[in-house]
Amino acid sequence: MKSAFPNISSIAYEGPQSKNPLAFKHYNPEEIVEGKTLREHLRFAVVYWHTFRGTGSDPFGAGTMQRPWDDGSNSVKNAQKRARVAFEFIQKLGAPYYCWHDRDVAPEGKTLAESNKNFDAVAEVLQEEQERTGVKLLWGTANLFSNPRFVHGASTSCNADVFAFAAAQVKKAMEVTHELGGEGYTFWGGREGYMTLLNTDMKREQEHLAKLLHLAVGYKKQIGFKGQFYIEPKPKEPTKHQYDSDAAACLNFLREYDLLPHFKLNIETNHATLAGHTMQHELETAGAAGALGSIDANTGDELLGWDTDQFPTNIYLTTYTMLSVLKYGGFTTGGVNFDAKVRRESFEPIDLFYAHIGGMDAFARGLKIAAAIRKDGRLAEFVKQRYASWDTGIGAKIESGKASLKEIEAYILKQGEVTPNTSGRQEYLENLINEFI
């Protein structure tokens, strides 16, 4: 097949002095940080949906993307050709992973059987290309939100047949993920929520969502799929409210329905900010529960209130993200998945390279800065000292559950009054972070 990017060779690491826009300045995949290479730490993934299916259309206008390899048709042949182009891109970029929805890679047919046949025909090409390039599948997922049948939700639809369709689609997407050696499988509840509570039986809908996840857990065992299941929190868009609204809501949902041992969270930056949180907050919430699995690396625009899915270039963001990721032991099955799209105005194929190179460099810097902050140790020591009163005396007794309320009262009656006599030192700590950036 003719090359889709004939003027671009493999993107190489040239170091911080390089002025070459098609080179990495900070992402040297072989560089070792905290005992692992950058490649092993970051586990970069390219998303199929934005990068190879994004048209640049918005509510006010048609697509703008120039994708000369794509004939614009919905044929299986075009999808197969596109898959080869995708792998040429991912290989030249040097990302070790990719991710897809079932309907990104293959066209939907008139029936589920036809869709599954199309999916298999493209999956064959994906398999070949994975073998040829060594690029692996980070996770697969089913698109349970685009087709009009999901207008009232997928597993949370008021219509049981729609639930059944969604479940059958998940079954197939899990099978293909398994066949392609996927390291994970993600559930993002695109339309699992409501537009108005006037027509919604919320309890029943949530029970149905849990039912689908239990069915998937059972089927996973049955087919011997060892990949990690993820839930991806998002508060709104397309619905007014989604049941998987943020990390805390997801954890509560998983606990309530006895699903927590089977799932981790896939935290997306732009979803965190839509929920009114920082990415760091969401990562800490997931990490504290032992459920930090993977990240969808993007960023929103502070002035816009929707999921703009921009490529991350903010070094503070990547630093705080990697501080939390390292704190909870790094990625195992997960990775840094660029769920991000080039702007509608960035319509040339080469923009796909610039976007990913920028994101990868930003994360490489964030990782190295985070590791330097950890090595320096002052930040961690400050936090440790801040809680020192819990390490001995009454604090240790309370933490270990050895102090009764009566004993605690006696202790404080003897003290008379207490003074929280240490400063929070936010400004000092912000300056400390800036020493490394």
- Positions annotated as catalytic residues are 101, 104
Closer CB to ligand XLS, 192 or 268, in the complex: 268
Closer CB to ligand XLS, 195 or 379, in the complex: 195
Sites of contact with Ni ion (CB under 5 A): 268, 296, 307, 339
Enumerate residues 348-407 that contact ligand XLS by CB under 6 A.
Answer: none
| 339 near ligand XLS, rule: CB under 6 A | yes
* Cβ–Cβ under 8 Å, residues 83 and 126: yes
**Which position's Cβ is nearest ligand XLS?**
188
Task: Give the whole-angstrom CA distance, residue 365 versus residue 359.
Answer: 10
CB atoms within 10 A of CB 32: 11
Closer CB to ligand XLS, 25 or 341, in the complex: 341
Residue 269 C-beta: closest distance to Ni ion, Å:
9
Assign 77 to helix, strand or coil: helix
Residue 270 C-beta: closest distance to ligand XLS, Å:
7
Closer CB to Ni ion, 205 or 339, in the complex: 339
| 228 near ligand XLS, rule: CB under 6 A | no
Burial class of 402 by CB neighbour count within 10 A (0 to 12, 13 to 18, 19+):
exposed
Closer CB to ligand XLS, 55 or 389, in the complex: 55
User: Residue 141 binds which one of ligand XLS, Ni ion, none, with CB within 5 to 8 A depending on kind?
Assistant: ligand XLS
Task: Give the whole-angstrom CA distance, residue 222 versus residue 366.
Answer: 40
> Half-sphere exposure of residue 231, counting CA atoms within 13 Å on the CB side?
34
* DSSP conformation letters of 148-194: GGGTT-STT-S-HHHHHHHHHHHHHHHHHHHHTT-SEEEE--TT-EE
Task: Give the whole-angstrom CA distance, residue 428 versus residue 437.
Answer: 15
From candidates 82, 208, 234, 277, binder to ligand XLS by CB under 6 A: 234
CA 342, 347, 352, 354 dihedral sign is: negative
User: Residue 246 binds which one of ligand XLS, Ni ion, none, with CB within 5 to 8 A depending on kind?
Assistant: none
Phi, psi for residue 143 in degrees, rounded to 5:
-85, 105
Enumerate residues 140-159 that contact ligand XLS by CB under 6 A.
Answer: 141
From candidates 27, 98, 188, 230, binder to ligand XLS by CB under 6 A: 188
Residue 393 C-beta: closest distance to ligand XLS, Å:
47
Enumerate residues 71-130 that contact ligand XLS by CB under 6 A.
Answer: 101
| 177 near ligand XLS, rule: CB under 6 A | no
Task: Give the whole-angstrom CA distance, residue 286 versus residue 294.
Answer: 10
Residue 163 C-beta: closest distance to ligand XLS, Å:
18
CB atoms within 10 A of CB 108: 17
From candidates 104, 268, 282, 361, binder to ligand XLS by CB under 6 A: 268
Task: Give the whole-angstrom CA distance, residue 11 versus residue 25.
Answer: 11
What residue type is 204 in one-letter code? R
From candidates 102, 244, 296, 361, binder to ligand XLS by CB under 6 A: 296
Binding site for ligand XLS (CB under 6 A): 101, 141, 186, 188, 232, 234, 268, 296, 307, 339
